[in-house]
């Protein structure tokens, strides 16, 4: 059984979570994720839709997911700032085709003399380096390259995120598609055959042999199965050059 965890809204502290709950606002704190992790190391699927929030909370969630002994799949809808750090914990990390990842420098409020401001600058620079480590482990990009991307606040589309290694795959890309063959069979009845069924039904009205749709459907299914069986024997080569399995059935019944 797979445990599903949602990370929605801002990444907040444990102490502030009750306020978001009281206001009925989305928000995710470290306890939300840590308490949801199974104790049996079974599979976990995390979906992220967050523009980010507190760096420390994001780091705590990232570390918990990286430390988890079971499989962790992360699906990204939006992962910005601190949420993008969490997204790096996926093995694999997937992204929606319409998803985005955003990375940028850490920010904070500070006030005081120049010593205080120098220390604030140092803290922010170290925070950037720490965040870049999560990106570096996931992507294999150099720290210099990553810090440059963070400096310019880089927004990545699904394709860009995959190309750079921030994600392992784009969701839905590998879904199986109907087999394309010369017959044109793609799982739905062609319009001309739909018209043929309508004609057969109309012709059966008032006749001694009423139109039996269930029996017709069974025969169509048998025809499709036979056609696909022959197709598999030919290593997925087209069954017929100009006639679909459906058309073959109808034409044969007219003989």
Separation of alpha carbons 216 and 224, rounded Å? 12
> Would you say 189 and 221 are in contact if contact means Cβ atoms under 8 Å apart?
no
> Would you say 93 and 162 are in contact if contact means Cβ atoms under 8 Å apart?
no
Q: How many CB atoms lie within 10 A of CB 156?
A: 22
Tokens of 159: 């394709």
At 233 the pLDDT is 65
Q: List pLDDT tens digits, range 96-155.
A: 999 999 999 999 888 999 999 999 999 999 999 999 999 999 999 999 999 999 999 999
- H/E run at residue 50: strand 44-50
Separation of alpha carbons 244 and 97, rounded Å? 33
Tokens of 163: 């190309």
The pLDDT of 148-177, averaged and rounded, is: 91
* Cα–Cα nearest to 77, from 98, 102, 105, 59: 98
Out of 16-25, 49-58, 210-219, which region has the weakest mean confidence (pLDDT)?
210-219
Tokens of 71: 């499989």
Query: In the predicted model, is pLDDT for residue 253 greater than 60?
Result: no
Separation of alpha carbons 184 and 94, rounded Å? 33
Helices (H) then strands (E): counts for the chain: 10, 6
Q: List pLDDT tens digits, range 49-72.
A: 999 999 999 999 999 999 999 999
């Amino acid at each position: 059984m797979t445990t599903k965890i949602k990370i929605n809204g801002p990444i907040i502290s444990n102490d502030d979570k009750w306020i978001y709950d009281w206001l009925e606002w989305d928000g995710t704190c470290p306890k939300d994720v840590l308490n949801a992790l199974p104790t049996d190391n079974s599979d976990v699927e995390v979906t992220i839709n967050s523009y980010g929030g507190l760096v420390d909370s994001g780091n705590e969630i990232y570390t918990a997911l990286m430390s988890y002994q079971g499989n962790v799949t992360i699906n990204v809808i939006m992962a910005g700032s601190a949420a993008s750090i969490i997204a790096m914990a996926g093995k694999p990390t997937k992204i929606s085709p319409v998803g985005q990842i955003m990375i940028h420098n850490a920010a904070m409020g500070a006030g005081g003399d120049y010593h205080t401001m120098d220390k604030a600058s140092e803290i922010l620079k170290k925070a950037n380096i720490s965040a870049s480590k999560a990106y570096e482990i996931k992507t294999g990009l150099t720290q210099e390259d990553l810090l440059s991307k963070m400096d310019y606040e880089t927004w990545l589309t699904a394709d860009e995120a995959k190309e750079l290694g921030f994600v392992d795959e784009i969701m839905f890309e590998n879904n199986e598609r109907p087999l394309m063959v010369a017959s044109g069979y793609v799982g739905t009845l062609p319009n001309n055959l739909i018209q043929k069924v309508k004609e057969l039904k109309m012709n059966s009205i008032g006749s001694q042999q009423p139109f039996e749709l269930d029996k017709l459907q069974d025969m169509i299914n048998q025809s499709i199965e036979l056609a696909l069986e022959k197709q598999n024997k030919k290593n997925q080569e087209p069954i017929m050059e100009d006639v679909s399995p459906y058309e073959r059935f109808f034409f044969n019944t007219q003989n």
